[in-house]
């Protein structure tokens, strides 16, 4: 164990004191890990749209003060009681969802939705004792999705940590701990296009581009990108997108446009927007008889998905996925190996890098739609 094991660590963290206000770099106290917990030294973290969404707190219960961040790479500093499969010095990716390895979901080959550790955006404390491991002058600061990586040190449940190849560059593979794996896995693990098939991707943000990358790696012959923002189309070519459709350019439903382009519909579609209308279009644009549509985007709580039952009876398949169907501890190390073996390109997702002291610039870039992924260097 390190010299700091068992002790409170004082370090810098970017604290969100209230919704929508710039984060403030503060000195926080990080308590030692308790039973089944690990304390991590975060070296690189990146900003995901989910951080921005909950920081804005427009559509959910606000919980502040809070330390956001959930896409990151780091090193184990110390481990709590009962932790046997991680040790100080291990290179790891913390993950917003988990794998306890004991519940029915973890025992299932088909599911990655752990009963104990699946994402909970409302919880701001640790499962073990209902307390936060972060404090400033004795006052607790809340956690975010069990990771809180906008801090030089953080504490997570052992089930939310994937041990990876120590040779993998953490400033690159940190982006695999959320959005990129979500999109890539939605295509390769769930939609499963065959070589030569056509794929439509709805939404060309980071997750949609990762879904396109999954289609490219799978050998899709046509990858049709659908987005309301035409400025995204050029960038998307790097991820294998071959054609672009902006629904605003047509006076008929986009599913009809795609069906006309593809002689009856695409073989696979992946929806990465969260718009219920895009979800319906993604389903209705796949070919009858064999078409598969996969929903990735998170809808608003009052949304309802409506389509005519004949669309299902005509042998179209509708699927949903969570985190690309990857089990964090079991599967994420192999995704990192895909990068190491040059089967998956990660660098093209990383458009900006900022030092930790300028973390608010990462928010500005994302809000302006200028970045795909912005890496935040914790040493800066």
- DSSP code string of 24-38: EEEEEEEPPP-TTEE
Q: Is the pLDDT of residue 361 over 60?
A: yes
100 is an active site residue: yes
Is there a contact between 351 and 362 (Cβ–Cβ < 8 Å)?
no
Summarize the confidence of residues 361-370 as an average pLDDT: 94
- Could you tell me if residue 301 is inside a domain? yes
- 196 within domain boundaries: yes
The single residue of 11, 29, 49, 358 carrying the catalytic annotation is: 49
Span 88-115, pLDDT tens digits: 999 999 999 999 999 999 999 999 999 9
User: Residue 209, class by beta-carbon neighbours within 10 Å (0-12 exposed, 13-18 middle, 19+ buried)?
Assistant: buried
- 154 in a domain, yes or no? no
Is 138 a domain residue? no
The two structure tokens encoding residue 37: 């917990």
49 is catalytic: yes
The reported pLDDT for the residue numbered 92 is 98
For the domain that residue 253 is a member of, what is the CATH number? 3.40.50.720
In a domain, 217, yes or no: yes
**Tokens for 228?**
């309301």
Helical ranges in the chain per DSSP H: 49-56, 104-107, 170-173, 179-185, 206-217, 232-236, 254-261, 276-284, 310-313, 328-340, 359-367
Burial zone of 73 (CB within 10 Å; 0-12 exposed, 13-18 middle, 19+ buried): buried
Mean pLDDT over the full length of the chain: 96
Position 74 pLDDT exceeds 70: yes
118 annotated active-site: yes
Q: What is the pLDDT of residue 325?
A: 98
Total tally of structural domains belonging to the chain: 1
Domain of 209, in residue numbers: 182-322
Annotation marks residue 174 as catalytic? no
Is 71 one of the catalytic residues?
yes
Distance between CA atoms of 282 and 261, rounded to whole angstroms? 14
Please state the separation of Cα 344 from the chain's center in Å: 16
In terms of DSSP bridges, do strands 134-136 and 317-320 run parallel, antiparallel, or are they unpaired? unpaired
Q: Which residue shows structure tokens 């040190």?
A: 153
Catalytic option among 103, 307, 345, 351: 103
Task: Answer yes or no: is pLDDT of 61 > 90.
Answer: no
Q: Is the pLDDT of residue 2 over 80?
A: no
Q: Catalytic residue at 103? A: yes
Strand 37-46, strand 71-79: pairing:
antiparallel
Asked if 11 is an active-site residue, the reply is no
**Catalytic hit among 71, 152, 213, 271:** 71
CA 166 from centre of chain = 22
Query: Tokens 């973890």 map to which residue?
Result: 106
- 3-state SS assignment for residue 337: helix
Q: In whole angstroms, how large is the CA radius of gyration of the chain?
A: 21
- In a domain, residue 108? The reply is no
Is residue 235, in this structure, part of any structural domain at all? yes
Burial of 329 (0-12, 13-18, 19+ CB in 10 A): buried
Instruction: Write the secondary structure of 167-200 as one string of H (helix), E (strand) and C (coil).
Output: CCCHHHHHHHHCHHHHHHHHHHHHHCCCCCCEEE
Tens digit of each residue's pLDDT (9 = 90 or more) over 204-243: 999 999 999 999 999 999 999 999 999 999 999 999 999 9
> Which residue, chain included where needed, has tokens 């902006």?
246
Is 50 part of the annotated catalytic residue set? Answer: yes
Active site (annotated) includes residue 114: yes
70 carries an active-site annotation: yes
Residue 162 lies in a domain: no
CA distance 110 to 115: 14
With a cut of 90, say whether residue 3 has pLDDT above it.
no
pLDDT above 80 (res 59): no
Chain-centroid distance, C-alpha 350 = 14
Is residue 246 over pLDDT 70?
yes
Nearest to 238 by CA among 164, 348, 315: 348
Q: How far apart are CA 112 and CA 99, in angstroms?
A: 7
Task: Report pLDDT for 11.
Answer: 98
């Amino acid at each position: 164990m390190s010299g700091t094991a068992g002790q409170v660590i004082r370090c810098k963290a970017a604290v969100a004191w209230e919704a929508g206000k710039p984060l403030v770099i503060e000195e926080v106290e990080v308590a030692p890990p308790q039973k089944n917990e690990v304390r991590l030294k975060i070296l690189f973290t990146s900003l995901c749209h989910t951080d921005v969404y909950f920081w804005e707190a427009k559509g959910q219960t606000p919980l502040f003060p809070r330390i956001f961040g959930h896409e990151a790479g780091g090193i184990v500093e110390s481990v709590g009681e009962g932790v046997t499969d991680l040790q100080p010095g291990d290179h790891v990716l913390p993950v917003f969802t988990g794998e306890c390895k004991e519940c029915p979901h973890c025992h299932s080959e088909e599911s990655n939705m752990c009963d104990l550790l699946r994402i909970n955006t409302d919880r701001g404390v640790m499962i073990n004792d209902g307390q936060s491991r972060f404090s400033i002058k004795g006052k607790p600061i809340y956690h975010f999705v069990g990771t809180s990586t906008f801090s030089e040190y953080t504490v997570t449940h052992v089930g939310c940590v994937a041990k990876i190849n120590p040779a993998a560059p953490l400033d690159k593979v940190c982006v695999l701990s959320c959005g990129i794996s979500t999109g890539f896995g939605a295509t390769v693990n769930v939609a499963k296009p065959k070589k030569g098939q056509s794929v439509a991707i709805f939404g060309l943000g980071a997750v949609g581009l990762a879904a396109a990358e999954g289609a490219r790696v799978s050998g899709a012959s046509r990858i049709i990108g659908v987005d309301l923002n035409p400025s995204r189309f050029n960038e998307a070519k790097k991820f294998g997108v071959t054609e672009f459709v902006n629904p605003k350019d047509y006076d008929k439903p986009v599913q009809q446009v795609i069906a006309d382009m593809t002689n009856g519909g695409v073989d696979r579609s992946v929806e990465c927007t969260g718009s219920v209308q895009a979800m319906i279009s993604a389903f209705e644009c796949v070919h009858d008889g064999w078409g598969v549509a996969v929903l990735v985007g998170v809808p608003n709580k009052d949304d309802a998905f409506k389509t005519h039952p004949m669309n299902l009876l005509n042998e179209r398949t509708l699927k949903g996925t969570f985190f690309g169907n990857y089990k964090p501890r079991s599967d994420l190390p192999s995704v990192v190996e895909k990068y190491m073996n040059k089967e998956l390109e990660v660098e093209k997702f990383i458009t900006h890098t900022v030092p930790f002291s300028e973390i608010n610039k990462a928010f500005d870039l994302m809000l302006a739609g200028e970045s795909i992924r912005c890496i935040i260097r914790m040493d800066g």
